Amino acid sequence: MRKEKIILGMSGGVDSSVAALLLQKEGYDVEGIFMKNWDDKHAICSAEDDYGDALSVAKKLDIPLHKIDYTKSYKDKVFQQFLDDHIDGFTPNPDVLCNKEIKFEVFQKYAKDLKAKKIATGHYANRKKVGSIHYLQKGNDLSKDQSYFLYQLGQKELENTIFPLGNILKNDVRKIAKENSLINHNKKDSTGICFIGERKYNDFVGQYIKTSKGDIISIDGEKLGTHNGHIYFTIGQRKGLGIGARFTSEDKPWYVVKKDIKNNIVFVAQGEDNPALFSKKIIVKNVNWISQKPKKYPIKFYAKVRYRDEDKECSVFYLEGNSYLVKFKSNQKAITPGQSIVFYDKNGICYGGGIISKRDIPFLGEKLDE
């Protein structure tokens, strides 16, 4: 009986390598794709080093590995958006956009070219089918779950996608890799944004965006210092403000609470529990519903406003177009425009998500309309 062919994204890391091994054991005819998205010797994800690891694993498992160069598409679709978001005052999340615009689009295309119906990745996530609808679900290892980064997928992408690591713990993945003598069994996981690498974030971004100095002002209206560009700051940021040595009655650290892009002002407040850091309502745009758009509102969800955040109970109200109002049950700290909010039910089913556009700051008199 002829084996079913499946195309697997292989990054050179331990996760996708073990995914290849598991798919083989399940009886699939596995072929790997290594995608070169960035060409920079200073990046964490050095393309040649990672390709060498992926090739070593492919040879050991006796599977073909196709190498494709998508650096231009990545820079046009993902990196340019990363820069645009900074200019607009947002804090970008390039990993989310990369999955939608590059990885899965490429996988689908290559699967078709290689006469395969199914694709697979090493993400810690699950797919669940109910009737004719495909759902994205959290991986069993909640400490490694990556469904947050996959919320922009739809039925077309999920229909023939397999996540071999969905039910496996990270520690067991490394154990499997070691038991099978895979070269990358103890390879360090990549963290942060890979194309920035070992360089300082501000130094890297400053190479591509022209900035100008502006004022750092307290929420009481006092000028506390100057900054080299609003792009270097994000909501909730404490370090790098250059005003930590000020003597005040509170003697507490300062935090970024707001950015005025038009006037190039960064507003700060003192104390990690300052009310200006907290919001209960946000506006969300560019929402993607994985299965179908809800028919009735408000609808209750459990949402993440950042990858490592805990799920927070909220209600979602439809506004207009593709904009929504999200009300949280309790105040949330340092919600950051530009980041993604992802919606789940109590069983870990991911219904979709969108980009945080604006947050209310009642303490500063900035309230969102009901």
Q: Cα–Cα distance between 74 and 355 in angstroms, integer?
A: 20
CB–CB of 47/82 below 8 Å? no
Choice among 45, 98, 314, 350 that is catalytic: 98
Question: What φ, ψ does residue 359 adopt, rounded to 5°?
Answer: -120, 150
Q: Nearest CA to 76 among 97, 55, 59, 92? A: 97
Using DSSP's 3-state secondary structure scheme, residue 253 falls into: coil
What distances in angstroms separate CA 146 from CA 99, 121, 122, 123, 248, one per listed residue?
11, 11, 10, 6, 42
Spell out the alpha helix ranges (H) of 75-207.
80-87, 94-98, 104-113, 155-159, 170-179, 201-206
What distances in angstroms separate CA 100 from CA 39, 200, 227, one per listed residue?
20, 27, 34
Q: Cα–Cα distance between 216 and 228 in angstroms, integer?
A: 10
- Burial of residue 114 (CB within 10 Å: 0-12, 13-18, 19+) is middle
Question: Is 314 annotated as catalytic?
Answer: no
Q: Cα–Cα distance between 172 and 174 in angstroms, integer?
A: 5
CB–CB of 316/298 below 8 Å? yes
Question: Is 98 annotated as catalytic?
Answer: yes
Q: Cα–Cα distance between 54 and 49 in angstroms, integer?
A: 9
Q: Cα–Cα distance between 16 and 92 in angstroms, integer?
A: 25
Active site residues: 98, 194
